[in-house]
A and B are shown apart, each in its own frame.
Chain A
């Protein structure tokens, strides 16, 4: 079973259930991969001993009734894990060990999975290239000079490099979908409120949403089923019956109406992205879907709106990192204020500081109306654009990103160009909708490219179905050469 780790999660689950492989053997295989892939810097923390214990425990008393029976999983280091260091990619939480488990990870463990390690990410999930992490940048398995996307860059890298059978990330403005697109993997940002935010280090509360990152659409439906569900500890959690996405997965999409928004054809978009989009349209059309041109007129305001709302919330959410109760505390300073200043100056990186400054500014008295309040109004218009379109279509197809993975260091001194990478993903977060990024092809350099399917609120099943049908007919297979081992 030397190549078990390059299988999909669903294949691995089959092998476990049919006892072709033990949970211990599987776990050992991943540990070996991880140890050989240190160059990628995908992990902040590994929990091998604990994982091996859990694998043995499973093998001694296998319960195959669960969605994720006996499977080790690495997760983004933004999810608080009980007694396991949780850093959010930041120096300020470098020594933080939670006494509690996030609802989403707890759901995974309750479904039979166990923790393999904690994955690197942009600091407090702020970034699109995993270059803002205190623990160093992560490398894309596609090429040693490429970023894996961000902020869930450790997750996308680990998944594409076969260091975990599936993983979870968080998506505030594209942090699951963009790295999925950059690594040729599947990523889903669920409807806001479908997965509990309890125990996830907060970036922007009204936008943050956890979601699965997987190798296939079927895997994605399994993971979503396992991690989602109502949580009374999160007031924004949606109280609805749990769905069985994997059981209901269908590849018949005949007659579905797919919206093609004209505003997503942006200036200076590489020809390859346009061609990819055309290819996607053709595949869906050939499967019997109907393409409908739609307009989402406020799309161009999404990015500026996002970069007001998200930093505003972040500036407040990150106020708790003050060195008083946990985390990093500077030893310098003669009074409380100086302690705060030094702790936060030394504890936060530049990108986080930039967003705290922006957020503090847009909420300041005298500027609130012009920025935050206006952004909230525009946000409503963006949401309304989608609501209007969804009276006519079942789902919307767009590119996931305006480019393929870029070079490490290429955009670090140009934050606006970095922010522009989220141009297709951000509107979805502002509207609270689900969206799936699918590997759909590659550019001339051979770097993967993704297409995005946007659904109605709580219509995850439908975009998974479309994605499932697309995947079967796309003919694109992401090949990762293991150059690092």
Chain B
């Protein structure tokens, strides 16, 4: 990585500070049922409609591990190039809260299912590797609802017991931009794998953000603060900026930073102390005696490895090789599986390079404006490919293509049909063009003379007239050639 281009530092009066960030991402496992019970995990059900006796911790109820959740965690671990542990242990994390029915969360403490791994980020200043410390499985808690009644709290246990993967990064991130890239990459990998839908609005992906600062060049880490449960990338970035600046201010004032847990107030855009290290919970972790240690057969791991889909990093390489894209284009087009699928379908039927340009230009801009994503694009991959081919073959000009594109968005129609019915085909017949151009030159004799006398700027005027007369359909390249020829003569 070329360090000189990386410039996220906080400038204090007494010097430059580097920001050090580590993330604990909580990713909801995609599975039909919960981690230790058969209840459904579907989002959006009425409160307390997806709750079993186990989820609500009735006396004598016992957890039984959901194998699919285990497989999802292994798949994710493999996608993070991580070590899969054949032996892992479920522990109880004990604390009291109204939405934690058991009085403990079943989690993995000393022996997680996945060990060290890594994630590659493509940053403008080059690629950067972010270390993964571990991934473990745990139960989600229910939800406390404090704003339904002035004097009571309501509890919804639909989420209680849903499987989460906690993915802990090493403190390798150095800026809000890197955090953005990291979350997006993680989400992309999990979506490719089908292990987490990554939907941050529905809370399927959220993170605790650890932030510390240190003087640029220092080797020793500063004291960190943990910002709990941030549920959007934008908020993570805002929280980091606020928190890092707060810490720098403290250091500049000669004060010290207390290790503590903080909350990000999205309305005030500030972090607030939640509890100090002294008040930290003593979770009294111990192995859950209701569950045997989780032993994974090597064969299961190998089988899962073999069945993994192509992941973004590999796909990017292939896109560069196979489609002749540059690194930036490949990166954008593999960022989401659906985008890469769409692109591949288009590229199969049309010019690969031009398809990439048009997708990343017109198509993405349109989707963005309409708040859509690629899976509900009003233009099918097949139609989009035809449009690209029409441009490539010279049938229509780029300018006309934009008009065709607009109509396609509105009507969902096939571009051929639109071009034909609206007569938008490009005028590429040299004889026809010569006819039009001669007509214009005759009409504007005075300007022709001026041009010939050296006022070459008028060339643009003639082109404009050609376009006007041809209804924008004149092939621009051919128009230029013929105009030049006739003006000389």
Contact = CB atoms under 8 A, between A and B. Distances in A.
Interface of A: 80, 86, 88, 93, 96, 98-100, 102, 197-202, 204-206, 232-236, 312-313, 315-316, 318-320, 322, 324-326, 336-337, 340, 360, 363-365, 368, 372
B192 interface: no
Nearest to B54: A233
B44 interface: no
B181 to A, nearest CB: 36
A24 to B, nearest CB: 31
Nearest to B291: A235
Given A235-B292, A322-B98, 15 more contacts: A86-B59, A201-B60, A202-B60, A234-B62, A235-B291, A236-B292, A315-B284, A316-B103, A319-B96, A322-B96, A325-B56, A325-B58, A326-B58, A365-B282, A368-B285
A235 B290 contact: yes
Contacts of A234: 62, 64
A98 B60 CA distance: 10
A320 B57 CA distance: 7
14 contacts: A98-B58, A197-B60, A205-B289, A236-B289, A236-B290, A313-B289, A316-B92, A316-B286, A322-B98, A337-B96, A363-B284, A363-B285, A364-B284, A368-B284
Given A319-B103, A364-B282, A198 B94 contact: no
B286 A372 contact: yes
B62 A233 contact: yes
Interface in B279-309: 282, 284-286, 289-292
A201 B101 CA distance: 15
Which of B62, B101, B282 has the largest number of chain A CB atoms within 10 A? Answer: B62
A15 B61 CA distance: 38
A104 to B, nearest CB: 10
Interface in B87-112: 92, 94, 96-98, 101-104
Contact of A88 (B57, B59, B65, B291): B59
B269 interface: no
A325 to B, nearest CB: 6
B201 to A, nearest CB: 28
A197 B62 contact: yes
B458 interface: no
Interface of B: 53, 56-65, 92, 94, 96-98, 101-104, 153, 155, 282, 284-286, 289-292
B64 A93 contact: no
Which of A93, A200, A201, A324 has the largest number of chain B CB atoms within 10 A? Answer: A324
B290 A205 contact: yes
Contacts of B64: 232-235
A48 to B, nearest CB: 24
B288 to A, nearest CB: 8
Contacts of A206: 289
Nearest to B94: A316
Contacts of B65: 235
Contact of B286 (A80, A202, A312, A324): A312
Contacts of B56: 325
A78 B246 CA distance: 55
B57 A325 contact: yes
A93 B97 CA distance: 20
A102 B64 CA distance: 16
The 3 closest A-B pairs by CB, nearest first: A319-B103, A363-B284, A205-B289
A320 B102 contact: yes
B59 A316 contact: no
A200 B97 CA distance: 24
A355 B282 CA distance: 18
A456 B132 CA distance: 45
Nearest to B144: A336
Given A233-B64, A235-B62, A325-B56, A320 B286 contact: no
A361 B445 CA distance: 103
A80 B60 contact: yes
Contacts of A322: 96, 98, 103
Contacts of A86: 59
A324 B102 CA distance: 11
Contact of A98 (B59, B63, B104, B289): B59
Contacts of A340: 96
A206 B61 CA distance: 14
A88 B285 CA distance: 26
Which of B61, B102, B104, B289 has the largest number of chain A CB atoms within 10 A? Answer: B289
A199 B59 CA distance: 7
Nearest to B288: A205
A320 B101 contact: yes
Contacts of A100: 53, 58
B292 A202 contact: no
A88 B59 CA distance: 10
Contacts of B104: 316, 319
Contacts of B155: 324
B129 to A, nearest CB: 34
A225 to B, nearest CB: 22
B139 to A, nearest CB: 14
B341 to A, nearest CB: 39
A200 to B, nearest CB: 5
A197 B291 CA distance: 12
B55 to A, nearest CB: 10
A236 B290 CA distance: 7
A441 to B, nearest CB: 37
A198 B60 contact: yes
B283 to A, nearest CB: 8
Contacts of B61: 198-199
A312 B284 CA distance: 9
Contacts of B285: 363, 368
Contacts of B53: 99-100
A233 B102 CA distance: 17
A102 B292 CA distance: 21
Contacts of B284: 315-316, 360, 363-365, 368
A322 B292 CA distance: 27
A322 B102 CA distance: 9
A204 B288 CA distance: 11
A75 B22 CA distance: 54
A102 B103 contact: no
A315 to B, nearest CB: 8
Given A364-B284, A365-B282, A319 B102 contact: yes
A364 to B, nearest CB: 6
Nearest to A363: B284
B62 A368 contact: no
A464 to B, nearest CB: 27
Contacts of B62: 197-198, 233-235
Contacts of B102: 319-320
Contacts of B153: 336
Contacts of A88: 59
A313 B98 CA distance: 21
B160 to A, nearest CB: 11
B286 A96 contact: no
A270 B147 CA distance: 66
Contacts of A99: 53
Contacts of A96: 59
A249 B98 CA distance: 51
B343 to A, nearest CB: 46
Contacts of B292: 235-236
A125 to B, nearest CB: 12
A102 B58 CA distance: 12
A325 B101 contact: yes
A181 B298 CA distance: 49
A232 B58 CA distance: 18
Nearest to A206: B289
Given A198-B62, A202-B59, A316-B103, A336 B98 contact: yes
Contacts of B94: 315-316, 319, 363
Contacts of A199: 60-61
